[in-house]
Structure 1
Amino acid sequence: MRYPNRVRKRWIALRSGLGHAGEVLSGFAPFFAPRRRGLALALAVLLAETASSLAQPWPLALAIDYVIGDKEPPAALPGSLAGEDAMLAGVALLVVLVFTATRAASAFRRYLLQRLGQETVFDLREALYAKVHELGLDYHGRRRTGDTITRVTSDVREVRTLLVDSVVEVASSLMVLAGMLAVMLWLDAGLTLLALLTVPFLFAAVVRYRSALIERMRVVRAREGAIASVAQEAITGIRAVKIFGREEEERGRFREESEASLRASVDAALIEARFGTVLGLAGGAGTALVVYFGVRQVLAGEMSVGDLTVFVSYLGLFLSPLWALSRQANQIGKSLVSGERIAELLRAEPAVRDAPDARPAPRLAGRVAFEEVRFSYDERAGEVLRGMSFEVEPGSRVALVGASGAGKSTVASLIARLYDPQGGRVLVDGRDIRRFTLASLRAQISFVPQEPMLFRGTVAENIAYGRPGVRREEVERAARLAGADGFIRRLPRGYDTVIGERGESLSGGQRQRVSIARAMLRESPILILDEPQAGLDAGSAAAVRESWRALSEGRTTFVISHELRLARDVDRILVIEDGRVAESGTHEELLALGGSYARLYALQERGTSPGTTGRRKR
C-alpha cells in the first residue's frame, strides 16, 4: 500500500505545482498582450523549424537505401534522376536545403524571442520600479532594500527565462515529439512502443526531483536578496563602517550570507546532477532496446537499413525533446520562484493611497490641525502618538520640540501623508487630508529632512529636484537664501558641478544647505524643516537662521529642532511628550510656565557657553 500512496502523493504534488505555475504565469499575461502578433509569428517560424527538423534524417536514409543499397528507385522518378550519381547529388542538395532551412528558422525564431523577451523585461522592470515608488514607507520599512533590488534586477531575468525561453522550449519540444511520434509509429509501431517505455521513468524523475529543486531555489533567491541587502547597507553606510573600524565584521556578514547561498546553490546543482544521471540511464536503456530489436528486424528482412537509420535518428531526436521537457520542468520550477517574488511585489498594495472619492487639493492656506491622532509604526512596539491634538494657523511658524523618540518627526510624516494614522484625523484647511489626492497634497508641502538626500547630477539639478523646469535665476536665488551660493560658486563648475551619489562629494553642512535651497524653490504653503541646522558650523547656522524667516514668510512652517534657541524665532512652540502635546506657547510663555520646556532650555543653556550657538563647553 505504501507505493501507491507515494505515487498518489507525487501526482497530487505535480498537479498542484502545475496549477500554481498557471496561477503565477497568468499574472504576467498583461505583459504579453501587446506582443501577440510577434508571438504568433514566432509560433509559425517554430512550426517551420519543426518540419525541417523532422526532415533531417531522410536524405541519409535515401542515400543508404537507393545509392549504397540495392533498393529500386521509385517508379515515378524520371530516368535521368534514377542514376547513382544523380541521386547522390540530389541527396546532397536535400541535405543542404534541409539543414539551411532548419538553421535559418532557428536563428530567426531566436531573434524574435530575444527581442520579445527583452521588450517584456523592459515593461516588467518599468512596472516593478513604478510599484516600488507607489508603495509607501510602511512596505519599505518591512523589506530589506537589497531584496527589493534583487526582485527588480536578477529575478526579472529569471522570469524572462520562464516566460520566453522555457515556454517556447516546451512548445517546440511538444511539436517535435508529436511529429516524430507520428513518423515512428508509421515506420514501426512495435519499436515505437519500446522507445516509449522510458517515458514513465522520465516522468517519475521529474516528479521526484522537481519539488526538492524548487525548495532549494527558494533558499538561493532569498539568500541572494540578503547578500544584496548586506552589500547595500555596508556601501551606503561606508563612512560609519570605516569610522568604527567594522570592515572585518561587515566582511563576515557578507561571507555568512554568501556561504548560505553557496550551500543552497550546490545542493540545487547536486539535485540537477542526479536528475541528469537518471535521464541518461533511461534514455540509454530505451535506445539499447530499439537498436537490439531493430537490428534483428533488419537481419530478418522485415526492415530496411535506411528505415532503421531514420528510426534511430528519430529516437535520438525523440529523446532529446523528452529530456528537454524534463529539464524545462526543473528550470520552470526554478524560474517560478522568481516569478512568485515578482508577483508578490506586483500584488502588494500601498497602505497610503488615494481614496475613491479623493479630489485634487485647491491652493491651500495652510491651517493644520490634529484631532486625537493615534499612530503606531508597529502594533507590537506600541503607539508613538497617543491622541495628539493641536491646531496651527495659516502662515504661522511652529517649533516641535521634545526628547528623541517623542514623535516630532512622526508628526511631520503624517502631515505629508507618508503614513496614515490608525485613529483620529489630520486636517488641512478644515478638511481631512485623506480627501485630497496624494500628488496634489504633497505638491503643496516642502520638506527638509534631517539627513538630506541628494542624487547624482549637477548642483542646479539637485536644487531644482522638487520643481523641474525652473529658471536658473530662481535656482541661484534659492541658493543665496539658503546660504549655499558662496560655496557652490567655488566648486569646479559652479552650479553645473556634478556631485557624487548621495552628495558624498559635499560636506554635511553643504548637503544641508542644498537641501534647504531645494525647499525654498518649491514655494509651497506648508514647510517642514527637520533639524535644519544639523551639520552646520556656527557661521552657516547663523546664515540659515537669518534666511529661514524669509523662506517661511507666508507659509505654515514646522521646525523640528533640538536647538531650542531656534525656537525663539517661531510664533508658537509645541512641546511633545509621550505622544501628546504637553505644552504650547511662545518661548517666553513656556519659560514662565516653568515646565518641561523650561527644564529642557535650562539644561541646554548650561551645556553651551554664552554667545555661542550650539557649541559645547570644553
Structure 2
Amino acid sequence: MLPQENRALFLGVAIVILILLKNLVAYGNATLLAWIYGHSGDRLRRQLTKSLLDADSLFLSREPPHRVLNAISNESWRAADAVGNLLAISVAASASLIFVIFLFALSPTLTVVVLSGLILVQGAIQRLTANFRRQGEVVAAKNKSLAARMLHLVEGWRLIRLYGRQDMESDRFAGNSDEVRQAVFSLSRGQAALGPLTEVAYSLIFFMAALIAWRIGIPFPVVATFIVMLYRLQPQVRSIQTALAQLRGWSGSLDEVAWLSRAGTGAGGRTTSSSGPRPVKSRLKDRIALEDVDFRYGATDEGGLKSVDFVIPAGRATAIIGRSGSGKSTVVALLCGLYRPTRGRVTVDGRDLMDEDLAGWLSRVAVVGPELDLIEGSVEENIRYGDPHADRAAIERAAERADASDFIKSLPGGYSYEVGHRGSNLSAGQRQRIALSRALVRDPDVLILDEATNAMDVMSEVTILDMLRKLPGGLTTIIISHTAAVISSCDEYILLFDGRVAASGSTEGFDTARLMSLLHPEPLRPGNVEGKRTGLVGQNE
C-alpha cells in the first residue's frame, strides 16, 4: 500500500508511462505500416518494370507508351494504397472480432440484434457504392488521357513550337486536367458521403439496442458496458467499410496494373528472358534464311509478310530494299527473333530461330536504326551500352571503325561529353556514328543497319560500309537503305513489295536508275517482275 502523500505522484508517473507506451506503440505501428507500404510499392514497381522489360515484343509494338507510363508512374501508387487498405482491413477485422466476443459474453441477444443491424447497413452500403467501380474506371481512363497529353508535350515540343500551337496545346491540357479533376471529385464525393451516412445508421443501431435492452429488462450496468463496447467497435467497422469502398473506387487503377503485369504474353511476339544459360557466342557459318514466311500483325494482312522466301549468306553484305510499308521493318524484327512467324520459319545455319535462346541470339546481333536513340549520358557511356564490359581501348576501336573518332576527340571533354536527351547535343550524323560505334563494340556476328547512315553524306556512308567489309571474322551485314551508292556497295539485294519478295540477286552490274524508278512514284506490280530480276542487273548476272 502506497503512502497517501506518494499516491498522487505514483498515479501521475503511471499515467505518463502509459501514455508514453501507448504513443510508442502507435509510432511503431505507423512506422511498420509505412515500411510495408513503401516496400509493397517498391516491389510492385519493380515487378511492373520487369514485366515491361520481359514483355512480348508484339505487345510492346502495339500498346501506346502513355498507357504503360501511366500504369507504372500513377496507378502503381493506387495498387500500393490497396495493399495498405488490405492490411488495415485485416487489423480492423481482428479488433472487431475481439469486441464481438466481449459483446456476446455480455448479452447474446443484444449482440445478435447489433450484428443484424450491421449486416443491413453493409447491404445498404454495397448498393450505395455499386457505381464506385465504374467511377474508378473513369478516373483511370482520364488519367491515361492526361498521361498521353503530358507525353506529347514533352516529346513534341519542337513540333508545337514550330507550328505555333502553344495556346492550343495549353487549352487541350487544361481540358484533360479538368476531366481528371471532375472524375476524381465525383468519386471522392461519393466516398465522403459514406462516413456521415454510416454514423447515422450506427446511431440508430445504438438506439435500437438500448430500447430492446430496456424492453427485455437487461440490467443497466450491462447495458452501459455493452454500449461502451459497441461504441469502441464502431470505428473498426467503419474502417473496414471505408477501405472496401476505396478498393472499389481503385478498381480501374488495379485493372491497369494487372494489365501491365501480364504484359502481352502469348500475343505473337517473343520475350528476351532466358530460362537457361546463354550459349557460347559463335560466328554464323552458313546463312540466315526466311523459309516461306507469313506474318500478320492482326486480323488483317496490312503491314505483314506473305510467302517470303530468301537467303542471307554469311560473311556478306545484303541490302533489303523496298518502298515504305513493303515489310522491311517486319523482316528485321523477324531476323532479330522478336516476332514469331505466322507460318514458315526463320533459320540460322539450318536451325529454327524459334528453338534458339533469344537472349543468346541477340547477343550475336547488333542493330542500328532511327528508333534506337542514344541514352542520356556521356559519349563513352553510350558506346559502352553495347557491351557493359568493354574497356576504353575497345570503345575507341569501335569509334574508329564507325568513323566517329575524329569528331569525338574534337568535342569538349571528348568521350566524357554529355550527349543530352536522345543525343540532342549532337548533329544527326554524329548521333548515327555513335549509334554505329555502340553496335560495333559488341563485336557482333550479324550487323543490321536500318536506315542507319541516312544522315551522313554519301562519301561517309560508302567509307563506313567499305570498312565494315574489311573487318576480320566475316561480319554478316544487312542494310536497309534507299541510297543507290550504299546498295551498290553490297554483295546481294532483296527487293520487297507489298510484303512479298519481288526480286533478289547479286548487285554486280546494278542498274541504279532502274532502282530509283522502282522505289519512287511509278507504281510497281509483281506482274512487272521478270523472273526474279526486274531489270536491276545486267545480262552478265
TM-score, normalised via structure 2 length? 0.85
Aligned to 2:188: 269
In structure 1, the gaps of 5 or more residues are 1-77, 605-618
Aligned to 1:450: 370
Equivalent position to 1:167, from 78, 81, 86: 86
| Segment of structure 1 superposing worse, 242-251 or 474-483 | 242-251
Report if aligned partners of 2:303, 2:327 keep a CA contact under 8 Å in 1.
no
Is the alpha carbon distance of 1:500 and 1:569 closer, same or farther for their aligned partners in structure 2, counting shifts above 3 Å?
same
Equivalent position to 2:259, from 324, 344, 347: 344
TM superposition shift of 1:543: 4.8
Residue identity opposite 2:491 in structure 1:
D
Equivalent position to 1:397, from 317, 321, 346: 317
> Which has more radius of gyration?
1
Determine the C-alpha separation between the residues in 1 that align with 2:503 and 2:135.
Answer: 57
Aligned to 2:379: 459
Equivalent position to 1:330, from 245, 260, 264: 245
Residue identity opposite 1:330 in structure 2:
A
Is the alpha carbon distance of 1:539 and 1:371 closer, same or farther for their aligned partners in structure 2, counting shifts above 3 Å?
closer
Determine the C-alpha separation between the residues in 1 that align with 2:509 and 2:519.
Answer: 13
SS in 1 for 2:149: helix
Deviations 1:362-381 (A, max 9, x none): 61325111111111222325
Aligned to 1:567: 487
TM superposition shift of 1:333: 2.1
Aligned to 1:7: none
Equivalent position to 2:229, from 308, 311, 314: 314
1:80-159 map, 5 Å: 92=12, 95-159=15-79
Verify: 1:240 aligned to 2:159, yes or no: yes
Aligned to 1:224: 143
TM superposition shift of 1:416: 0.5
SS in 2 for 1:405: coil
Residue identity opposite 1:458 in structure 2:
S
Aligned to 1:71: none
Determine the C-alpha separation between the residues in 2 that align with 1:362 and 1:482.
Answer: 23
TM superposition shift of 1:262: 2.3
TM superposition shift of 1:495: 0.5
Determine the C-alpha separation between the residues in 2 that align with 1:374 and 1:555.
Answer: 28
TM superposition shift of 1:525: 1.6
Determine the C-alpha separation between the residues in 2 that align with 1:448 and 1:534.
Answer: 11
Aligned to 1:374: 294
TM superposition shift of 1:460: 0.7
Aligned to 1:38: none
Equivalent position to 2:121, from 202, 205, 214: 202
Residue identity opposite 2:417 in structure 1:
T
Equivalent position to 1:530, from 450, 470, 478: 450
Determine the C-alpha separation between the residues in 1 that align with 2:142 and 2:492.
Answer: 51
- How high is the sequence identity, in percent, across the aligned residues? 26
SS in 2 for 1:379: coil
Is the alpha carbon distance of 1:355 and 1:503 closer, same or farther for their aligned partners in structure 2, counting shifts above 3 Å?
closer
Determine the C-alpha separation between the residues in 2 that align with 1:280 and 1:550.
Answer: 83
Determine the C-alpha separation between the residues in 1 that align with 2:207 and 2:79.
Answer: 38
TM superposition shift of 1:418: 1.6
Deviations 1:376-433 (A, max 9, x none): 2223253521111111221111111121111122211110012121111111111111
Report if aligned partners of 2:136, 2:251 keep a CA contact under 8 Å in 1.
no
Report if aligned partners of 1:452, 1:511 keep a CA contact under 8 Å in 2.
no
SS in 2 for 1:533: coil
Is the alpha carbon distance of 1:499 and 1:590 closer, same or farther for their aligned partners in structure 2, counting shifts above 3 Å?
closer
Is the alpha carbon distance of 1:445 and 1:332 closer, same or farther for their aligned partners in structure 2, counting shifts above 3 Å?
same
TM superposition shift of 1:257: 3.1
Deviations 1:126-150 (A, max 9, x none): 2211110111331122322122122
Aligned length: 516
Aligned to 1:597: 515
Aligned to 2:391: 471
TM superposition shift of 1:252: 4.3
Aligned to 1:212: 131
Report if aligned partners of 1:564, 1:601 keep a CA contact under 8 Å in 2.
no
Determine the C-alpha separation between the residues in 2 that align with 1:103 and 1:439.
Answer: 54
Deviations 1:93-139 (A, max 9, x none): 55445443332222212222322332232222222111101113311
TM superposition shift of 1:532: 2.4
Report if aligned partners of 2:319, 2:494 keep a CA contact under 8 Å in 1.
yes
Determine the C-alpha separation between the residues in 2 that align with 1:371 and 1:197.
Answer: 71
Report if aligned partners of 2:494, 2:501 keep a CA contact under 8 Å in 1.
yes
TM superposition shift of 1:242: 2.6
1:607-618 map, 5 Å: none
Report if aligned partners of 2:462, 2:489 keep a CA contact under 8 Å in 1.
no
Report if aligned partners of 1:197, 1:286 keep a CA contact under 8 Å in 2.
no
Determine the C-alpha separation between the residues in 2 that align with 1:395 and 1:570.
Answer: 11
Report if aligned partners of 1:355, 1:434 keep a CA contact under 8 Å in 2.
no
Report if aligned partners of 1:361, 1:436 keep a CA contact under 8 Å in 2.
no
SS in 2 for 1:109: helix
Determine the C-alpha separation between the residues in 1 that align with 2:361 and 2:76.
Answer: 34
TM superposition shift of 1:357: 11
Is the alpha carbon distance of 1:175 and 1:413 closer, same or farther for their aligned partners in structure 2, counting shifts above 3 Å?
closer
Determine the C-alpha separation between the residues in 2 that align with 1:381 and 1:243.
Answer: 37
Determine the C-alpha separation between the residues in 2 that align with 1:603 and 1:120.
Answer: 57
Report if aligned partners of 1:201, 1:282 keep a CA contact under 8 Å in 2.
no
- Answer 1 or 2: which has greater helix percent: 1
1:413-424 map, 5 Å: 413-424=333-344
Aligned to 2:361: 441
TM-score, normalised via structure 1 length? 0.75
TM superposition shift of 1:341: 2.6
1:497-508 map, 5 Å: 497-508=417-428
Determine the C-alpha separation between the residues in 2 that align with 1:331 and 1:338.
Answer: 11
In structure 2, the gaps of 5 or more residues are 523-541
- Superposed CA RMSD in Å reads 3.4
Residue identity opposite 2:231 in structure 1:
G
Determine the C-alpha separation between the residues in 2 that align with 1:402 and 1:227.
Answer: 38
Is the alpha carbon distance of 1:494 and 1:230 closer, same or farther for their aligned partners in structure 2, counting shifts above 3 Å?
same
Determine the C-alpha separation between the residues in 2 that align with 1:274 and 1:421.
Answer: 55
Deviations 1:501-547 (A, max 9, x none): 22222221111110011112111121110112222245644553554
Aligned to 1:11: none
Report if aligned partners of 1:279, 1:323 keep a CA contact under 8 Å in 2.
yes
